[in-house]
Amino acid sequence: MKLLRHGPAGQEKPGLLDAEGMIRDLSGVIPDLAGEALSPAGIARLQGLDVAALPKVAGRPRLGPPVTGMKNFVCIGLNYADHAAETGSPIPKEPIIFLKSLGALQGPDDDVVIPRNSAKTDWEVELAVIIGTTARSVPEAQALDHVAGYAVSNDVSEREWQLERGGTWDKGKGYETFGPLGPWLVTKDEVADPQDLAMFCDVDGERMQDGSTRTMIFGVAKLVSYVSHFITLHPGDVISTGTPPGVGMGKKPPVFLRAGQTMRLGIAGLGEQNQRTVAAE
């Protein structure tokens, strides 16, 4: 099942994508895609609906982030060996965790703002794991029981702020619009193996990233378990699991985003995002 949120920013309604690619409204069934709706019982209830009886949503409405009410937007750094190599970094012995500001969260096709005085804004296609039930110090063997589903994430990053301005990575990751998520949450029953998903990112039609979750250093189950020992994960929380090679920072010479460009990125079975880059006002 593909679950989504549609409508103007801040006024999104829950919905789902039917077999014909039509959006069906869920606002008469659940308040939003948050909390209990993301639990196994909540997902099972939605899967049991008569989809044909749900109201159709006309046209092509804006899509917002596919979940709301999250408390944590967790990201994993350098989680692909080939990406670590392109950045000249050693392979981590344990997952590198940082937090992305919740203010960065936005819809999958919303514009990405290039900040004032930014010289090194970069792209990163990533597999996002969406939590369905509270996870607190869970063993790896039970970690996937706490997952509601998966989505596409673009971990937009300002590399100078991240790496050259002192302190932690967070300052290069949390600018508004730096967290496109979606287009939808694909429930985990439709993802046979989260460690075997092709992924890509194009900038202005040029293929920049062409990878697979097969080359993750730490897999999804390991990450959910590991993070849950440091940060209690709640329904709607997101773990963005790292990016394959091909980021702008890793090009020789490096290539970074500027206003007026387009990004297209996606993961097999999870949909695509399309963003324009615009200058900060």
Residue 225 lies in a domain: yes
**Whether 224 and 164 share a structural domain:** yes
- Does residue 155 lie in a domain region? yes
Task: Decide if 201 contacts 37 (C-beta within 8 A).
Answer: no
Residues 111 and 217 in one domain: yes
Question: Is 62 part of a structural domain of the chain?
Answer: no
Does 234 fall in a domain? Answer: yes
Domain encompassing residue 108: 73-279
The CA-based angle 155-127-225, given to 5 degrees, is 105
Residue 12 lies in a domain: yes
Q: Are 16 and 92 members of one domain?
A: no
Tell me the one-letter amino acid at 76: I
Quick one: 165 and 262 in the same domain?
yes
Residues 46, 135, single domain; the answer is: no
Is there a single domain that holds both residue 177 and residue 273? yes
Let me know if residue 58 belongs to a domain: no
- Check residue 118 and give its pLDDT: 95
Are 184 and 237 contained in the same domain?
yes
End-to-end CA distance of the chain: 38
Cα-only R_g, the chain: 18
**Average pLDDT, 10 consecutive residues per value, the chain (281 residues):** 98 98 98 98 98 97 97 96 83 95 98 96 98 98 98 98 91 97 98 98 98 97 98 98 96 96 98 98 91
In a domain, 189, yes or no: yes
**175 plus 108 within the same structural domain:** yes
| Domain annotation covers residue 89 | yes
Number of independent structural domains in the chain = 2
Note the pLDDT of residue 84.
82
DSSP string, 248-273: GGGSSS-----TT-EEEEEETTTEEE
Specify the pLDDT at position 83. 82
CATH of the domain at 118: 3.90.850.10
CB 126 within 8 A of CB 242: yes
